[in-house]
Chain A
């Protein structure tokens, strides 16, 4: 192949295409990086070595890398290389060539993507290639995509009989590709009335499916918000359920968790991918210890005075916020997302779910399940449940209520810290991060019924989904207001939430 590269490097613009044809014929899909670099106009020729090299810009510095191995060549200077120029005609050729190479690639997903790439720029050449490959294609998905491309080609051929074209249109109507929709929209202005009506029907059918997926998308965002609410409120649900006090500094526990993530990433900048696994226990510990500290120093002295507790913890939240402002500056901090959490899961052309939200949803459910198990199966859980149902009786039975209170508070705050880790992946980390969650979390707890974890789960997801479904019609602010008003009215009907505790003890 090297001689061809030398020819490529030394050829004049008009001679390049035949050389490229020969390169294409002589190689497999390993040539793709070369073509891509050339297409981007970044391919340079090293005259002295008879080699080509890719040029790229990293932080304003020019860097040379081997096209095939991606190894950096530090020994090269600007003077050593000549750019291999391309024009539009060559670019067109390169694109098609790349598509052709990809179409015959070994990996089915590469082939499928190649076909989908081609949908917007079908020409006679590519159609010919596709027609050639279609009968022998073994992978179902690739074959489907190829069929779709061919159908699009058929449908757009005005010379063909309308019946063929309508059949093709019907085939297209199962696809969600935006290219298909563009073509169909074009076809609604077609000369043939039958084709027009078929195109309209197909568009209608596609629109319905798109709406369905848009619904799923909204649902996903609702669930995502719900998972955040769940993480934020579940700690509050425990402390409120067991001790009957509202910790107004709960939001700041979330904030501390988020800042812990930030600090962990500062400490291990080269291992961002693993930082989360360190941050979760670290945040649990930091916030949990802070919770125990607050309980021991302040809350236990205000026993039986829930309103005073509310005020004192509010004071603590002010202090913590200001502390963070003093240490980390009032500006927002950016927490990076590990690579395995970034990106999205593309289910089909109109529906893709962002991975970080997906992971957080799963994580929230995991935390919930672990918490339920802790409360149901461990002795701490038994004590916590005993104290939440009847504090005096539990005390009389020898439960160390002081210790249970501290542990409960630590647990609730620790979970808030974990929520902070999750939130740091979704929003910027700032001193006011937690503030906005205290009202929402409390709404969730009230809605679900105090002292009832399942209620909290249902309430969090209900409120999350309701908010996201209201937002498109009302706007975010009005949606927030409507949800608040709804809860205020809901409490009228059911003051004890969705799943109230019954019996005389509940009063």
Chain B
């Protein structure tokens, strides 16, 4: 890059110098859009996990991502949350936060929460502590050292404990919870952090039908105030919550629309539902 170019880059009028920008600027959702994913590419040893992927999520939306194994759902979440570096492309949170140059912690502090496929909670600590750690607070070292729980925060934790049905187990070690309870605890950890955007990977795996129903209720109630992206294989569950569904296939978007539109989409039937339908016929 020539000096002129770099000078131009330095004095671009539409951008603020990094050191002048406030550390925790509000997320600008001027266009009703909270997440912009454009031309994302990522390959592992020649295997294209993400292939020119484009995805836009509206503010307050509840979006379901479906797709066969290896379609790139989890990888996409990895890139958004900073776990994996992509080869090329852009990911913006609102209009003003470039997620690609931030690490996991910064991204989490911006208000993006994530629930993993396999529930990961802090097993050696109590349910209450797990939630306390996830509170939306100043997470730098010194403030954490001197922090105390405010009554509001305690109320908030109690509220969440009730929502996830673990109020009775608040002083139990998280490691002693059942698989389903851990799933709930992890969702609770997301809730207590009050994120703008929730990325939820297979929330109902290992849950009973009843619990699945409750999860569906919870997620639908969250939408509107928060933006939720759900990855799920359970089609029933997707049908029960989805307003918009995006189908991923081989690292790029195959189709997008309501569940009915998706089900009648020829491409989708061919690569995804088709297999299931074929399998169903055989059975």
Decide yes or no whether B44 CB sits under 8 A from chain A: yes
Residues in B neighbouring A504, C-beta threshold 8 A = 44, 75
A301 contacts chain B at the CB level, 8 A cutoff:
no
B138 adjacent to chain A (CB < 8 Å) = no
Bitwise interface map of B from 58 to 102 toward A, beta carbon under 8 Å scored 1, else 0: 000000000000000001000000000000000000000000000
Q: How far is the CB of B86 from chain A (nearest CB, A)?
A: 14
Flag whether B45 is at the interface (Cβ < 8 A).
Answer: yes
Task: State which size class the interface on A falls in.
Answer: under 10
Per-residue A-contact encoding for B98-125, CB less than 8 Å = 1, 0 else: 0000000000000000000000000000
CA distance A502 to B46 in the complex (A): 10
Cα distance A280–B165 in the bound complex, in angstroms: 66
How distant is the Cα of A503 from the Cα of B70 in the complex, in angstroms? 13
- Measured CB to CB, the nearest residue on chain A to B44 is A503
- In the complex, the number of residue pairs spanning A and B with C-beta atoms less than 8 Å apart equals 7
Q: How far is the CA of A39 from the CA of B47 in the complex (A)?
A: 79
A467-507 interface bits toward B, Cβ cutoff 8 Å, 1 = contact, 0 = none: 00000000000000000000000000000000000111000
Q: Chain A, 326-362, contact with B by CB distance < 8 Å: what is the 0/1 string?
A: 0000000000000000000000000000000000000
A residues in contact with B47, CB < 8 Å: 503
Min Cβ gap A352→B in Å is: 47
Which residue of the partner chain A has the closest CB to B83?
A: A507
Distance in Å from the Cβ of B138 to the closest Cβ of chain A?
Answer: 29
Residues on B with beta carbons closer than 8 Å to the beta carbon of A503? 44-45, 47
Contact with A along B27-64 (1 / 0, CB 8 A): 00000000000000000110100000000000000000
CB distance from A347 to the nearest CB of B (A): 44
Residues on A with beta carbons closer than 8 Å to the beta carbon of B45: 502-503
What residues of chain A lie closer than 8 Å to B75, measured between beta carbons?
A: 504
| A255→B141 CA distance, assembly (Å) | 47
Quick one: closest A residue to B78, CB to CB?
A504
Contacts of A502 in B (CB 8 A): 44-45
**Nearest chain-A residue to B47 (Cβ)?**
A503
Kindly state the separation between the CA atoms of A370 and B98 in the bound complex, as whole angstroms.
51
Point out the residues of chain A lying under 8 angstroms from B44, CB to CB.
502-504
Complex: A502 Cα to B75 Cα, angstroms: 14
Taking the closest CB of chain B, its distance from the CB of A137, in whole angstroms, is 64
Chain B residue nearest to A501 (CB atoms) is B45
A13 CB, min distance to chain B CBs, angstroms: 87
CA distance A84 to B75 in the complex (A): 94
Per the bound structure, the CA–CA distance linking A502 and B44 in Å amounts to: 6
In the bound complex, CA of A503 to CA of B44 (Å): 5
The minimal Cβ–Cβ distance linking A228 to chain B, given in whole angstroms, is 33
Q: A504 to B77, alpha carbons, bound, how many Å?
A: 13
Docked complex Cα distance between A504 and B42 (Å): 12
Whole-angstrom distance between the Cβ of B69 and the nearest chain A Cβ: 12
Tell me the minimal C-beta distance from B160 to chain A in angstroms: 30
- Distance to closest chain A CB from B117 (angstroms): 12
Shortest Cβ distance from residue B104 to the other chain A in the assembled complex, whole angstroms: 13
Q: CB-nearest residue of chain A relative to B74?
A: A504
Please report the C-alpha to C-alpha distance between residue A502 and residue B45 in the assembled complex, in whole angstroms. Answer: 6
A-B contact pairs, 5 of them (CB 8 A): A502-B44, A503-B45, A503-B47, A504-B44, A504-B75
The 7 closest A-B pairs by CB, nearest first: A503-B44, A502-B45, A503-B45, A502-B44, A504-B44, A503-B47, A504-B75
